[in-house]
């Protein structure tokens, strides 16, 4: 049973204009792009409705950005035990925009950018599109989870390596890296004079007993070389509003960033700032409900894969609402995502988008009411029984 606040029908979802529910035909259930299907918290909708009711569509003043920055800092303090400095925050539009901006401002063409693959495809494109070198550090498959290959990390670094683009929690594997793992990365960054760009957009989806550690919270020395990127676009499901923040762990980093031509960054709209401020100010209880539902969903996926999809391998995620499904042993004649699209009418994210070696994987987004998730899983199980 879904919590009534999180309930939504397929019929309603199919009336949306956003890409998740419009990319495929009505016979397909989408479980791909990282939007959740749950309704948005009423506090956020109310804040947005006020803008409409007042025809408040004029130029947003700069202090609106400051309000969003402060709300983010309070959220980080209360939910993640780390207090960023609001004065060190740049408010932008999207995580991808900020990742591109950081790569442009903190490295030169040809420099190495370290990435732990498989990885959210935007990490690969930010390296390629800025003509940087991909320093690939594949995660190792452990017994119950994927792990950072620390020897591999040291091996991949050379004098042109500049930035470690960290994804924590990690999309698509669902790893929430522990303090010790992050500290090991920090030690390498300090030894090799790397800048860390920490993409922490999935920070609010961590299942107990795991706990999110903001990278910059490891200590002053590492914070001084860390740029933290985050957003409430995932946490409270408002990706379409387009607001993300960058926090500079030192004045030197912030000063260097300020050389950017801010005009090409655009400015977030009044909707995006007010919506994000409301999310960070009032979204705690809604976030808790969502996480509880996702935890139940994560268990449902694990149980169904184990009992109904023999041969499919899957480590239940410690964080995120993704199940990273290893279909290598299924001997499918096509990529895993294509198989499930054709035979199950379920749209997953193709594993091949996340690295050159994961074509036999697919990523399932399980952030949907359990009734819809059950339908997704039974369609997949039926297709495999074929």
Ligand X SMILES: Cc1ncc(COP(=O)(O)O)c(C=O)c1O
Size of interface with ligand X, in residues (CB under 6 A): 14
d(CA 145, CA 257): 36
d(CA 89, CA 229): 10
- In which residue are the tokens 């409270």 written? 236
Task: Identify the DSSP state of 195.
Answer: E
Q: Does the protein bind ligand X through residue 116 (CB under 6 A)?
A: no
For ligand X, which is the closer residue by CB, 98 or 312? Answer: 98
Omega prior to 118 cis, within 30 of 0: yes
d(CA 85, CA 247): 8
Q: Does the protein bind ligand X through residue 122 (CB under 6 A)?
A: yes
Among 168, 171, 226, 349, binds ligand X (CB under 6 A): 171
Site for ligand X in 27-86 (CB under 6 A): 34
Determine contact, residues 327/335, Cβ cutoff 8 Å: no
d(CA 304, CA 294): 15
Interface with ligand X by CB under 6 A: which range of 91-99, 176-184, 348-356, 378-386? 91-99
Site string for ligand X, 126-165 (x = CB under 6 A): ----------------------------------------
d(CA 331, CA 205): 32
For ligand X, which is the closer residue by CB, 124 or 217? Answer: 124
For ligand X, which is the closer residue by CB, 120 or 315? Answer: 120
> 211: exposed, middle or buried (C-beta count within 10 Å: 0-12, 13-18, 19+)?
middle
Angle at 230 between CA 41 and CA 219, to 5 degrees: 130
Among 38, 72, 120, 354, binds ligand X (CB under 6 A): 120
Q: Which residues contact 263 (CB under 8 A, 6 or more apart)?
A: none
For ligand X, which is the closer residue by CB, 138 or 172? Answer: 172
Interface with ligand X by CB under 6 A: which range of 90-98, 109-117, 130-138, 369-377? 90-98
Q: How far is the CB of 306 from ligand X (least distance, A)?
A: 26
Q: Does the protein bind ligand X through residue 167 (CB under 6 A)?
A: yes
Here the tokens at position 136 are 């690939």
Q: Does the protein bind ligand X through residue 233 (CB under 6 A)?
A: yes
Q: Does the protein bind ligand X through residue 239 (CB under 6 A)?
A: yes
For ligand X, which is the closer residue by CB, 164 or 309? Answer: 164
Omega prior to 172 cis, within 30 of 0: yes
Residues lying near ligand X in the complex (CB under 6 A): 34, 94-96, 120, 122, 167, 171, 199, 201, 231, 233, 239, 244
């Amino acid at each position: 049973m879904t919590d009534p606040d999180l309930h939504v029908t397929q019929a309603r979802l199919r009336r949306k204009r956003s890409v998740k529910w419009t990319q495929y035909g009505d016979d397909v259930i989408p479980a791909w792009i990282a939007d959740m299907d749950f309704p948005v918290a009423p506090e956020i909708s109310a804040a947005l409705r006020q803008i409409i009711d007042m025809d408040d569509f004029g130029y947003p003043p700069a202090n609106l950005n400051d309000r969003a920055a402060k709300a983010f800092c309070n959220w980080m303090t209360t939910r993640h035990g780390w207090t960023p400095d609001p004065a060190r925050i740049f408010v932008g539009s999207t995580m991808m925009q900020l990742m591109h901006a950081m790569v442009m401002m903190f490295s030169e063409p040809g420099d190495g950018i370290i990435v732990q693959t498989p990885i959210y495809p935007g990490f690969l494109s930010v390296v390629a599109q800025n003509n940087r070198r991909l320093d690939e550090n594949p995660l190792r498959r452990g017994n119950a989870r994927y792990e950072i290959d620390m020897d591999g990390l040291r091996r991949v670094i050379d004098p042109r390596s500049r930035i470690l683009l960290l994804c924590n929690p990690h999309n698509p594997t669902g790893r929430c890296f522990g303090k010790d793992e992050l500290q090991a990365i920090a030690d390498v960054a300090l030894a090799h004079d790397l800048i860390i760009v920490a993409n922490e957009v999935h920070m609010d989806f961590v299942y107990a007993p795991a706990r999110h550690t903001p990278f910059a919270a490891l200590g002053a020395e590492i914070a001084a070389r860390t740029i933290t990127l985050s957003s409430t676009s995932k946490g409270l499901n408002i990706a379409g509003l387009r607001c993300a923040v960058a926090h500079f762990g030192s004045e030197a980093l912030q000063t260097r960033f300020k050389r950017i031509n801010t005009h090409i960054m655009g400015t977030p709209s009044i909707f995006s700032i007010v919506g994000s401020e409301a999310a960070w100010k009032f979204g705690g209880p809604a976030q808790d409900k969502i996480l509880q539902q996702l935890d139940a969903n994560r268990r449902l996926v694990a149980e169904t894969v184990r009992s109904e999809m023999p041969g499919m391998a899957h480590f239940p995620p410690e964080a995120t609402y993704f199940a990273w499904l290893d279909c290598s042993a299924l001997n499918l004649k096509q990529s895993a995502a294509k198989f499930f699209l054709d035979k199950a009418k379920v749209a997953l994210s193709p594993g091949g988008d996340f690295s050159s070696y994961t074509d036999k994987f697919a990523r399932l987004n399980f952030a949907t009411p359990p009734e819809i998730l059950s339908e997704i899983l039974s369609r997949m199980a039926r297709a495999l029984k074929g």
